[in-house]
């Protein structure tokens, strides 16, 4: 099947949508796919990444948004590639391209939704969702939370659950994080709390630093690693420095894609106490990092924001806390740091759950089936005779 992907979020840039799109591209018709993605920095990492993929990538100048220039590029690329289906990496705002693609090219358009679209729907901006889904053959959703909020507004022909997953062959309990721990200056015998995430306010790294003195009072050897990059890097580094050089906090920056499993395995407990912000528009759709941490056998502490509680089995594979409740966060960290056997049990349960419910291989198969179905349905619609009286 010849597929055209249009996405503003594409590896090697880090992030959940990038991770989601990259994993589907790797697994669903990779050698007959053309991708239109953002130019980004145009650096060596991006060039090397694009050259190594089985699919061809066209980097559009600037961002990939539903502008007239991008619309022209998409229509031309779809014709040149003889695409049978177009996939939009995020339904809002790219879904606004769909009616024109459908009308001019007579091919179906499928769009993937994440957390933002459900956030818009839940704060009275459902008309944006309606506009961005009216030309879609299918819209995919990532969690119960997101789907519940989207359904009243969706105009797509159908809605199908395609959550993000984990590559369970890469994220494994036997991945060794020792070298990274040492590179970060964490002693081999120190319990390590890890957070792997973009450094943005919603993710709650600030709360981890705020409660750290109390956690340290209970666990004097404990260390905290805030992995990732983002706009809060300087603020978080300042807050960490204010705790003192012997507080056991490190901010190692961004890790390479290849090092992500080891970055999770380096920690004993994963914690990202996310919280909903900006009146509900800045919200966690699900949280791939919780799945990654569980896949390497670590308990995960999640925040009660959007679909994040669906990514952890509260009390079994981790803990769900109110990201604004520092006391609850301390209690959760204390619980897992104090109990190595409990960590091992939760880790094993988390690994089993991820293998069974969140493995990319099975999720990508569902997505491939969806593309087959919408292409077949669309072809059937084109050749079916006009209805009597129609």
User: Which secondary-structure segment (H or E) carries 161?
Assistant: strand 159-161
The Cα–Cα gap between 163 and 156 comes to 18
Residues 162, 143: contact at Cβ < 8 Å?
no
**CA neighbor of 37 nearest in space, from 12, 72, 68:** 12
**CA neighbor of 264 nearest in space, from 220, 303, 299:** 299
Residue 66 CB: number of other CB atoms within 10 A? 18
- Told to check if 19 binds ligand GDD by CB under 6 A, we report yes
- Told to check if 261 binds ligand GDD by CB under 6 A, we report no
Comparison of 105 and 180: residue with beta carbon closer to ligand GDD: 180
- Told to check if 288 binds ligand GDD by CB under 6 A, we report yes
Chosen residue from 165, 287, 318, 323 binding ligand GDD by CB under 6 A: 287
DSSP state of 314: B
Task: Kindly identify the residues of this chain, within the stretch 307-366, that bind ligand GDD according to CB under 6 A.
Answer: none
- Told to check if 172 binds ligand GDD by CB under 6 A, we report no
- Told to check if 171 binds ligand GDD by CB under 6 A, we report no
Comparison of 84 and 317: residue with beta carbon closer to ligand GDD: 317
Residue of closest CB approach to ligand GDD: 16
Q: Which region among 49-57, 71-79, 213-221, 283-291 touches ligand GDD (by CB under 6 A)?
A: 283-291
The Cα–Cα gap between 216 and 254 comes to 25
Give 169: exposed, middle or buried? Use CB within 10 Å, 0-12, 13-18, 19+.
exposed
Give the three-state DSSP class for 223.
strand
Angle (nearest 5°) at CA 370 between 366 and 372: 115
DSSP state of 385: P
- Told to check if 20 binds ligand GDD by CB under 6 A, we report yes
Cβ 92 to ligand GDD shortest distance, Å: 12
Residues 315, 345: contact at Cβ < 8 Å?
no
Q: Which region among 15-23, 183-191, 354-362, 376-384 touches ligand GDD (by CB under 6 A)?
A: 15-23
Q: How far, CA to CA in Å, does 125 sit from each of 119, 139, 150, 239?
A: 9, 18, 11, 36
Q: Phi and psi dihedrals of 112, rounded to 5? A: -100, 130
Cβ 387 to ligand GDD shortest distance, Å: 39
Task: Kindly identify the residues of this chain, within the stretch 22-81, that bind ligand GDD according to CB under 6 A.
Answer: none
Cβ 140 to ligand GDD shortest distance, Å: 10
Task: Kindly identify the residues of this chain, within the stretch 115-134, that bind ligand GDD according to CB under 6 A.
Answer: 115
Cβ 116 to ligand GDD shortest distance, Å: 7
Chosen residue from 49, 81, 114, 153 binding ligand GDD by CB under 6 A: 114
Letter string b/e over residues 17-43, b meaning 16 or more CB atoms within 10 A of that residue's CB: bbbbbbbbbebbbeebbbbbbbeeeee
How many residues bind to ligand GDD according to rule CB under 6 A? 27
Cβ 87 to ligand GDD shortest distance, Å: 14
- Told to check if 198 binds ligand GDD by CB under 6 A, we report yes
Cβ 341 to ligand GDD shortest distance, Å: 27
Comparison of 17 and 83: residue with beta carbon closer to ligand GDD: 17
Name the residues that contact ligand GDD, by CB under 6 A.
Answer: 14-17, 19-20, 114-115, 142, 164, 196-198, 227-229, 254-255, 257, 260, 284-289, 292
């Amino acid at each position: 099947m010849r597929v055209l992907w249009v996405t503003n979020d594409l590896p090697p840039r880090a992030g959940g949508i990038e991770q989601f799109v990259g994993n589907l591209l790797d697994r669903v018709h990779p050698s007959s796919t053309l991708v239109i993605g953002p130019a980004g920095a145009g650096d060596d990492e991006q060039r090397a990444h694009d050259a190594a993929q089985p699919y061809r990538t066209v980097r559009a100048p600037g961002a990939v948004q539903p502008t007239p220039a991008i619309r022209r590029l998409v229509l031309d690329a779809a014709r040149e590639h003889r695409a049978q289906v177009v996939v939009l990496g995020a339904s809002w705002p790219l879904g606004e391209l769909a009616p024109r693609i459908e009308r001019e090219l007579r091919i179906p358009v499928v769009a993937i939704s994440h957390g933002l679209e459900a956030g818009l729907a839940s704060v009275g901006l459902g008309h944006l969702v309606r506009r961005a889904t009216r030309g879609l053959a299918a819209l995919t959703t990532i969690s119960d939370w997101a789907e519940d909020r989207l359904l009243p507004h969706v105009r797509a022909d159908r809605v199908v659950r395609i959550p993000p997953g984990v590559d369970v062959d890469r994220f494994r309990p036997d991945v060794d994080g020792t070298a990274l721990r040492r590179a970060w200056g964490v002693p081999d015998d120190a319990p390590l709390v890890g957070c792997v995430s973009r450094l943005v306010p919603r993710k709650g790294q600030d709360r981890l630093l705020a409660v750290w003195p109390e956690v340290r009072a209970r666990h004097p050897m404990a260390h905290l690693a805030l992995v990732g990059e983002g706009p809060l890097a300087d603020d978080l580094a300042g807050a960490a420095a204010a705790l003192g050089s012997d507080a056991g906090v490190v901010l190692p920056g961004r890790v390479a894609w290849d090092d992500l499993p080891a970055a999770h395995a380096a920690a004993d407990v994963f914690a990202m106490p996310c919280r909903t912000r900006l009146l509900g528009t800045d919200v966690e759709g699900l949280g791939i990092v919780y799945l990654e941490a569980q896949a390497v056998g670590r308990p995960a502490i999640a925040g009660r924001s959007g679909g994040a509680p669906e990514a952890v089995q509260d009390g079994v594979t981790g803990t769900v806390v109110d990201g604004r409740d520092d006391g609850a966060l301390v209690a959760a960290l204390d619980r897992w740091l104090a109990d190595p056997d409990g960590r091992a049990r939760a880790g094993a349960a988390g690994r089993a759950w991820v293998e069974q419910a969140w493995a990319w291989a099975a999720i990508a198969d569902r997505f491939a089936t969806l593309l087959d179905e919408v292409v077949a349905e669309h072809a059937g619609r084109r050749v079916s005779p006009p209805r009597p009286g129609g």
